[in-house]
Amino acid sequence: MSAFTGKDTSAIPGEGTSATPGKDTDAPTGDNSPTPAAASGFWADADRHLVRYGGAFTREIIERAAGSFVYTADGRKILDFTSGQMSAILGHSHPEIVETVRRQIGSLDHLYSGMLSRPVVDLARRLAATLPAPLEKTLLLTTGAESNEAAIRMAKLVTGKHEIVSFARSWHGMTQAAASATYSAGRKGYGPTAPGHFAIPVPNAYRPDFTTTDGALDWRRQLDFAFEMIDAQSTGSLAACIVEPILSSGGIIEPPEGYLAALRDKCRERGMLLILDEAQTGLCRTGSWYAFERDGVVPDILTLSKTLGAGLPLAAVVTSAEIEQEAYERGFLFFTTHVSDPLPAAVGNTVLDVLARDGLDARARSLGTYLRKGLEELADRHEVVGDIRGRGLLAGIEFVVDRATKESSDELGARVTRRCLELGLHMNIVQLPGMGGVFRIAPPLTATEEELSLGLAILDEAIVDATA
């Protein structure tokens, strides 16, 4: 019996021993199934011709995806608890997204970057309507790295300064300025980063560095100390601070309430702009349209990406008319091949349609509560679950080998990850120095309670197997 479904799970793909783990019983069989030789040839070609860009590839050939599942060439059905690359908030192959792409690509897909189309202007206007004043000016791009690159470039130009502050566990992208503001991975071996980049400690309540008398995180003292160090290192050219409202690649770490407001005040005192990177938290995932709404803080510049295109390459930089005017007068240049492209903009408009019509912010809150309850039940049964955190449908669980000491284990997290995939669940684990394995759980906002229950049941079984 599954603790999360209250029923026999032997018939659920990936559960029990009566069926092949994760086997897609609805998938085509017979001649449509690949032969072992064909699969062997695929991996031989992949190994020979593909550049590896982030570790080993998952040894599954993915043929299609629909809703909350991806389907492999050998007929396995895998529940996707990461929404692709944390992006497909409407699930895979959402029919309205599919129809928009078909319609738009048949009429207007790409333009010279100096030309405008209705989807671009419509999306800019509609984004402004979802945001508090004074955020009303939008630049439409493709990836999160590109939007952060543009935001940092704009901040430097408008302030006339060049120093950038970000979290020590941050991930903002792989292009030059974005990578220079990224500290969770990828800094070693590439030579100097852009000058003037500084890191501040992450307010991690589970692993506090500055503590109160009762051992809790003293984030105010931590933040004061951080900016004392920034001031000591700065040459007097602090331009901006860029942070995620909830660090994702940093281990699903949510700053305490009040932190973002205090950070904004630190920026104001130094004439810095505050850039919030909502690549993964924006557009309803955390239970509100934007994660910063909880704190009542409006950034000077907001960046969006992943969720805006629901899996397609679409990103945005949103700022005030005042900042945009200053940037324009100073000659702001960000002329890229796919800036203001009509096809992804049309998709963005459809994403906004579905989010608003289906009330997916409220759905994320409701499903987030259901998911949290299931994760807490897991923690009650498994001592290796050290911490549960996150908001809405962006959740994290940190694995430890000892709850008292919070001793971490990279190998434990890796074993659970492998077993989950074998059982039919794709999970993403963040493994950073000094932390245990932290699972990022971000299913589509269109997921059902039954699908969440299935994922929790598989995770439960994987933990049992990995710790046996």
**171 noted as active-site residue:** yes
Beta bridge partners of 163: 238
Contact 312, 295 (CB under 8 A): no
| Catalytic position from the list 306, 389, 415, 419 | 306
Size of the chain, expressed as the number of residues it contains: 468
Order of strands across the sheet with 273-277?
135-141, 315-320, 301-304, 273-277, 238-243, 163-167, 197-200
| Catalytic position from the list 76, 440, 451, 460 | 440
Give the integer Cα–Cα distance in Å for 113 and 345: 13
| Catalytic position from the list 244, 300, 398, 460 | 244
Of 209, 296, 198, nearest in space to 242 by CA:
198
Q: Scanning the structure block, which residue is given the tokens 């991690």? A: 204
| Catalytic position from the list 24, 74, 137, 171 | 171
Contact 347, 314 (CB under 8 A): yes
Give the integer Cα–Cα distance in Å for 399 and 412: 8
Contact 128, 257 (CB under 8 A): no
CA dihedral (111, 117, 120, 126) in degrees, to 10, reads: -170
Chain-centre distance of CA 22, in angstroms? 25
For the CA atoms of the chain, what is the radius of gyration? 23
SS3 211: strand
Give the integer Cα–Cα distance in Å for 294 and 329: 34
**277 noted as active-site residue:** yes
| Catalytic position from the list 270, 280, 324, 451 | 280
- Give the Cβ contact number of residue 236 at 10 Å: 8
**280 noted as active-site residue:** yes
Two structure tokens written together for 432? 């950073």
**Cα–Cα distances in angstroms (integers) from residue 347 to residues 101, 181, 272, 316, 446, in the given order:** 7, 29, 34, 13, 17
Of 366, 364, 398, 369, nearest in space to 382 by CA:
398
| Catalytic position from the list 24, 277, 278, 461 | 277
Enumerate the active-site residues.
171, 244, 277, 280, 306, 440
